[in-house]
C-alpha cells in the first residue's frame, strides 16, 4: 500500500455498483451447495441416518438458501471506484454504511450507495482508521494545553485506559486455554473523562495495530509517529 493520500477532500463522490461476476459465481456455488445438501438430507432420511449428520447438512442447506434469499433482496458483492485514484474498492452489503482505505493509493472514503472522501472531522461509529503500533514507543498527540489529547474528541486527557486485542488463535484459545497461553496484546491509551472508546487494538497474527474512530486524530497520530506511518505504506 502506498502512503495515504492527504488531498482527497477535493475528489468527487463515486457510485456503488454490484460486482456482477463475483455475485454470479457466488450464486452458482450456493445454488449447487444447497441443492446437493437437500438431496443428501432426503437420502439420509430415507436411510434413517442419525440426527447429527442430518443436522449439520441442514445447516449447510439453510445457509446456502439464506444467501440466495439475501441476494434476491440486494445483498452481495459490490464495488466502487476510489474517489481519489479510481481503483476498484471491493466490499459486501452495497447499501450498508462503510469506511474503507484504498489498497492502491491509501486514501480513505466513506458512504453507502456512493463513496466520498472522508471529511477531515469525520468520526466513525467503529475504530476503522488503522495504523501500525510504533516499535520504539508511541508519541501521543497533545492538546493545546500540553496534556495528551483524547483520541475521540481531542480534548485534554485525564486518564489512561487499557485496551486489548486478540488474534483468531487467541479468541479460539480463550474458550479452552489458560490466560498464559493466549495471544493477547494490550496498550494504555489516553482518554478524557467522557470517552473511553476512541481507540482499539486490532491484531493480525503477531502484529498489533492501533485503530481510531476520529480521522483527524488518526492523521495527527501518523504525523507524530512518522515511522509507523511509513511502515503502513
Whether the per-residue pLDDT at 180 is higher than 60: the answer is no
- Name the grid cell of 122: 469525520
Q: Which residues contact 159 (CB under 8 A, 6 or more apart)?
A: 190, 191, 192, 193
For residue 65, give the H/E element and its range.
helix 51-72
Query: What does the alpha-carbon distance between residue 159 and residue 218 come to, in Å, rounded to a whole number?
Result: 19
pLDDT, residue 71, reads 67
Instruction: Judge whether 83 and 115 are in contact, CB under 8 Å.
Output: yes
Residue 38 and residue 30 in contact, taking contact as beta carbons nearer than 8 Å? no
Judge contact between 101 and 209, C-beta under 8 A: no
Burial of 199 (0-12, 13-18, 19+ CB in 10 A): buried
Over residues 102-125, the pLDDT tens digits come to 999 999 999 998 999 999 999 999
Q: What is the pLDDT of residues 117-160, one digit of tens each?
A: 999 999 999 999 999 998 888 999 999 999 999 999 999 999 99
pLDDT, mean over the chain: 84
Is the pLDDT confidence value at 162 over 50? yes
What whole-number distance in Å separates Cα of residue 171 and Cα of residue 189? 22
- The set of cell numbers assigned to 218 is 488518526
Output the pTM of the full model. Answer: 0.70
CA 102, CA 111: separation in Å to the nearest integer?
A: 14
Separation CA 35–CA 228 (nearest Å)? 50
Query: Which pLDDT score is estimated for 123?
Result: 97
Element containing residue 114 per DSSP (H, E): strand 114-117
* Three-state DSSP state, 202: strand
Amino acid at each position: 500500500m502506498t502512503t495515504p493520500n492527504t488531498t482527497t477532500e477535493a475528489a468527487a463522490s463515486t457510485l456503488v455498483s454490484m460486482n456482477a461476476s463475483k455475485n454470479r459465481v457466488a450464486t452458482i456455488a450456493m445454488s449447487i451447495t444447497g441443492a446437493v445438501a437437500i438431496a443428501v438430507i432426503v437420502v439420509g432420511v430415507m436411510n434413517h441416518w442419525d440426527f447429527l449428520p442430518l443436522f449439520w447438512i441442514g445447516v449447510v442447506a439453510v445457509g446456502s438458501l439464506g444467501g440466495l434469499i439475501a441476494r434476491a433482496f440486494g445483498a452481495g458483492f459490490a464495488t466502487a471506484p476510489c474517489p481519489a485514484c479510481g481503483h476498484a474498492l471491493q466490499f459486501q452489503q452495497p447499501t450498508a454504511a462503510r469506511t474503507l482505505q484504498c489498497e492502491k493509493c491509501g486514501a480513505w472514503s466513506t458512504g453507502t450507495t456512493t463513496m466520498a472522501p472522508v471529511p477531515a472531522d469525520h468520526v466513525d461509529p467503529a475504530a476503522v482508521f488503522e495504523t501500525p503500533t510504533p516499535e520504539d514507543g508511541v508519541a501521543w498527540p497533545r492538546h493545546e494545553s500540553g496534556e495528551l489529547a483524547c483520541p475521540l474528541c481531542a480534548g485534554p486527557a485525564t486518564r489512561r485506559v487499557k485496551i486489548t486485542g486478540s488474534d483468531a488463535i487467541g479468541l479460539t484459545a480463550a474458550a479452552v486455554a489458560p490466560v498464559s497461553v493466549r495471544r493477547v496484546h494490550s496498550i494504555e491509551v489516553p482518554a478524557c473523562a467522557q470517552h473511553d472508546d476512541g481507540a482499539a487494538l486490532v491484531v493480525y497474527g503477531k502484529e498489533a495495530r492501533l485503530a481510531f474512530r476520529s480521522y483527524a486524530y488518526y492523521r495527527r497520530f501518523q504525523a507524530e509517529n512518522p515511522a509507523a506511518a511509513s511502515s503502513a505504506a
